[in-house]
Amino acid sequence: MRIYKLLGRLAVKLVVLLVSFTFALPVLAKEINVDGTLYPSLSEAFSHAKDGSIIKISAGDYQDAAILKADNVMIIGEPGTRIFGKATKGKGALLIQGTNTLIKQIECFNIQVRDRNGACVRLEGKHLILDNVYFHDSQQGVLTGAQPGIVHIINSRFERLGAGGRAHGIYVGGGTLIIEDSQFLSSKGEGHEVKSRAKETRIIRSVIASLSGKDSRLVDVPNGGKLEIIASVLQQGTETSNWNLVGYGLEDYKYDMNSVTIKDNIFVLDRHANQVLNIKHQRVKPVVEGNIFVGNMQDAFEAGNMVFKSRESAGLEAAPNLPLLN
């Protein structure tokens, strides 16, 4: 009996020690630091940003939305910085009204608004760089106005975005769009992975893929301009609602200079019937060379490219696996 009482006392002491140790551990509090000053919310922090400010957001979940009016601001998160579930002004989680904004290492998801175009980033200002962001499971990743300047996306992933055929992975209303070393995957609600009304659209070393999403076009450039798709992988899935992979000028031409260059890519067409490139009125003669096309397509791109009728004949794994660029 004494042994049991002794063991009981030891157990109580052990629990007390464990509880004391747990409360003694440092608590990782969420912090939003603007030029050395801490703020309790994204909305308050962004409202105190000045031209040239650096906003540092520590790891944690932020169910908040904010408006940035200052210019030349850097917004930098940490691994595990997650913004979700709230929009401001019925537009998006981060409403950027300033010029020259960098957003780095931020995850954003579950942004919904009444107009069905709720975006992780709504750009009303000019010149935006997104570096190492992960935007997913919202109505839209990025939405801009008609004059956004240069939108540059680097090392980022956009996934399961779209709504009602009017919201997309990214929707740029003008300016210049550059996508490098990034992924746009599984758009939903018949949205495009990339929709760009920009004067110049460049996609380099990136992956644009339907996978299992019910998307529309992989890339839609409805007003013409300069389009370049270089050294990338584009895959059209079996659930896509559009037989075009790339649309060009389909809502009429807006720019004086129009060109299409598609080089050194891998196209995988898993849908039963496909057109890789749909150019309205055949107004431009595209440069299409050095590509690998896999699947059933209506385009005559045999010259200067490699064409395979199936994944098997090309030596590729079954869908939805994606090939790698060398």
Residue 325 binned pLDDT confidence (cut-offs 50, 70, 90): confident
Specify which residues 277 forms β-bridges with.
246
Per-residue pLDDT at 254: 97
Helical (H) or strand (E) element with 132: none
Q: What is the pLDDT of residues 133-192, one digit of tens each?
A: 999 999 999 999 999 999 999 999 999 999 999 999 999 999 999 999 999 999 999 999
Per-residue pLDDT at 12: 36
Task: Enter the tokens of residue 301.
Answer: 């791109």
User: What is the distance between the alpha carbons of residues 273 and 297, in angstroms, rounded to a whole number?
Assistant: 6
The reply to whether the predicted model has a pTM over 0.75 is yes
Task: Enter the tokens of residue 45.
Answer: 């922090």
Helical (H) or strand (E) element with 325: none
User: What is the distance between the alpha carbons of residues 80 and 56, in angstroms, rounded to a whole number?
Assistant: 13
Question: b vs e for 80-99, b when ≥16 Cβ sit within 10 Å of the residue's Cβ?
Answer: ebbbbbbbbeebbbbbbebe
What is the average pLDDT score of the chain?
Answer: 92
Helical (H) or strand (E) element with 229: strand 226-230
- The closest alpha carbon to 208, from 235, 181, 168, 176, belongs to 235
What mean pLDDT do residues 108-120 have? 97
Which residue has 């929707």 as its token pair? 171
Estimate the share of the chain in helix, then strand, then coil, as percent rounded to the nearest 5. 10, 40, 50
- Number of Cβ atoms within 10 Å of the Cβ of 251: 13
Does residue 5 register a pLDDT over 50? Answer: no
> DSSP letter string over 205-224?
S-EEE-TT---S-SEEETT-
Q: What is the pLDDT of residues 44-85, one digit of tens each?
A: 999 999 999 999 999 999 999 999 999 999 999 999 999 999
Does residue 29 register a pLDDT over 70? Answer: no
Q: What is the pLDDT of residues 206-262, one digit of tens each?
A: 999 999 999 999 999 999 999 999 999 999 999 999 999 999 999 999 999 999 999
> DSSP letter string over 103-119?
EES-EEE----TTS--E
Q: Are 265 and 232 in contact (CB under 8 A)?
A: yes
Does residue 282 register a pLDDT over 70? Answer: yes
What is the DSSP code (8-state) at residue 316?
A: P
Q: What is the pLDDT of residues 8-21, one digit of tens each?
A: 443 334 333 333 33
Regarding beta strands 306-308 and 176-180, do their DSSP bridges make them parallel or antiparallel, or are they unpaired? unpaired
What mean pLDDT do residues 274-298 have? 96
Does residue 35 register a pLDDT over 50? Answer: yes
Domains for the chain: give ranges and CATH numbers. 28-314 (2.160.20)
